[in-house]
Structure 1
């Protein structure tokens, strides 16, 4: 049985080769033969690298880009012919290790065998901080640390500032106070084993900036933000205030209405962020009364930087607040928030919330 199968496979390859060569002959004699060798079988100048196959990719889209045709006599029509007759195996998503000087034939064989590189999963939850992001990267096996300091038992915000400085310098990020909060897109990612923190952070930063720029260009008119960065700050506050997607545009409206009326934002998550390492899980009266750069009970307008990593949904809600007159909101204690226009309505909602919470004790 095995001999017969081997014979059939050899016969199929021979037929494929004959068809391929027949197509090449149409391109012209000896010159065609040289071009075939240079394009399909000759070693290339490329170093070892990783090639990622994403959804929608094909052999043609991956291997007929201009940077693949880097040998002196390579010829794209021959590449297309080779792929047509020899790239028969389905492409599997993932990242593949391509050795140095690999020919077109070698790459097609590697992709066809599906010999993917082992992947590392990184989950960055929206609303987490840049400190959380750095800790995840340090604690995930298979990530090469080039920029971040090594894992330690105690990772303080002072350490975060040092890591921010290294990351900002390496990636060319300009940010107020050197704080990179909010500038990396939360999501679940797959990276090849051995990927550096530099590569990962670059991708997360590029993704977040692209999302922000696209949303900013299509934003509602007359929003009280002078720049995409100010909108990013607001998106981070919205992200921390509610995890309920249907509420985000209303929360956005509350803060827009407050800014337009020169009211302070008075949002608890900004108090927490401004405490940094001093936060112990509770907000005390003294924390509310303390004037920090971030405490929006004590400062006018926005804090100087984002306070978390906002999701694409929070960024979108920032650019498209609901057309509602709400000025206040408070948790219901039952999930979600109660929105109000007047202070009297808000005080009643607060009293109801306290009643619900007291019954739970």
Structure 2
């Protein structure tokens, strides 16, 4: 009996020792191959697969002990995929907390108000933290891949700064930006007052894109909107240069000429009445709101003053005088 007690005591001491060693291990710095490194846990990875991916990246983590730690903490099924960062001083316990909470490394990309979809694609293609699944795809193929009920992505992405997990797909980012714009467009459409010359929410989006390209001044947006809304109401052509430039595409060399204004394209609002067939850029929220909240104004003309603001006129005579003053140096 005394021997049994001794064996039990020895086993108990050994168990306590092992437990103490294990707890000690969970709080010891992990050996890393560099002062700071990144590793990626792929979607669908098991805990052991995640540990293997860590080790391949340069972290020295014992798989059996890490699995035991995760089970002890009740987090063996809580590992989240993504790209993680670690550095000297990281412990198994802090690493587990990071994986379970999904504290991934995030990158960002900014979609600028007034950009075209072509400009945004160039930014996407050049971003080093994205997975470039859309390379070689046409716009129509991107739309089909995302299952969107759209004919064009122009104007359909909301300008904003987007955070994303490194190595995310550029398709995911496009889908997020499209959903963000649609949500704001739906909200704007519901808030529109009666009497505006828009048949659909897409008309609002197109008008907002024109406003975005015509002015960057907050105080002028509603007045620019009023000019174009007034023209639509009286059946006057919009005659806005940015739509002509958009219709020229990559052929535009930065110098808008009279021949361009006279050459008919679907986007030439000098030769065609009404709104162009699609937006011409990606408008911000301020331009969306201006499109449904035009100023209380009878103006149907405006001209740039040269300082970023515009002069608005009700008659052609007023407008000609403003053009002479601000564009031709007259008094």
- Provide TM-score, normalisation by structure 2: 0.71
Q: 1:38 offset after TM fit, Å?
A: 9.5
- 8 A contact 1:148–1:167 mirrored in 2: no
Larger radius of gyration: 2
Give the aligned partner of residue 168 of structure 1.
143
1:302–1:115 Cα change, 3 Å: closer
Give the aligned partner of residue 254 of structure 1.
227
Q: 1:335 offset after TM fit, Å?
A: 2.3
Asked if 1:124 corresponds to 2:111, the answer is: yes
Measured against aligned partners, the alpha-carbon deviations of 1:119-178 in whole angstroms (never above 9, x if no partner) come to 3221211001000010000001010011232xxxxxxxxxxxx52112111222223xx3
Give the aligned partner of residue 4 of structure 1.
none
Q: 1:311 offset after TM fit, Å?
A: 0.5
Give the aligned partner of residue 97 of structure 2.
109
Distance 2:278 2:316 in 1: 29
Distance 2:72 2:176 in 1: 32
- 8 A contact 1:134–1:148 mirrored in 2: no
**3-state SS, counterpart of residue 109 of structure 1:** helix
**3-state SS, counterpart of residue 318 of structure 1:** helix
Distance 1:322 1:119 in 2: 41
Give the aligned partner of residue 217 of structure 1.
190
> Of 288, 308, 317, which aligns to 1:335?
308
Measured against aligned partners, the alpha-carbon deviations of 1:12-31 in whole angstroms (never above 9, x if no partner) come to xxxxxxxxxxxxxxxxxxxx
After superposition, the CA RMSD in angstroms is 2.8
Distance 2:154 2:79 in 1: 35
* Stretches of structure 2 lacking an aligned partner (at least 5 in a row): 1-22, 24-69, 86-92
Asked if 1:145 corresponds to 2:145, the answer is: no
> Of 143, 159, 175, which aligns to 1:186?
159
Give the aligned partner of residue 58 of structure 1.
none
**3-state SS, counterpart of residue 346 of structure 1:** helix
Asked if 1:134 corresponds to 2:167, the answer is: no
Bigger shift: residues 119-128 or 323-332: 119-128
Measured against aligned partners, the alpha-carbon deviations of 1:254-297 in whole angstroms (never above 9, x if no partner) come to 11100000000000000000001210001111100001000000
**3-state SS, counterpart of residue 256 of structure 1:** helix
1:261–1:107 Cα change, 3 Å: farther
- 8 A contact 2:238–2:269 mirrored in 1: yes
Distance 1:228 1:269 in 2: 21
Give the aligned partner of residue 54 of structure 1.
none
> Of 49, 53, 76, which aligns to 2:81?
49
Q: 1:117 offset after TM fit, Å?
A: 2.9
- 8 A contact 2:157–2:178 mirrored in 1: yes
**3-state SS, counterpart of residue 41 of structure 1:** coil
Number of residue-to-residue matches in the alignment: 257
1:317–1:106 Cα change, 3 Å: same
**3-state SS, counterpart of residue 330 of structure 1:** strand
Give the aligned partner of residue 283 of structure 2.
310
Distance 2:84 2:239 in 1: 50
**3-state SS, counterpart of residue 179 of structure 1:** coil
**3-state SS, counterpart of residue 291 of structure 1:** coil
Q: 1:116 offset after TM fit, Å?
A: 4.0
Distance 1:217 1:115 in 2: 37
> Of 288, 296, 301, which aligns to 2:274?
301
Distance 1:298 1:323 in 2: 28
* Stretches of structure 1 lacking an aligned partner (at least 5 in a row): 1-9, 11-36, 51-94, 98-104, 150-161
- Provide TM-score, normalisation by structure 1: 0.66
- 8 A contact 1:148–1:166 mirrored in 2: no
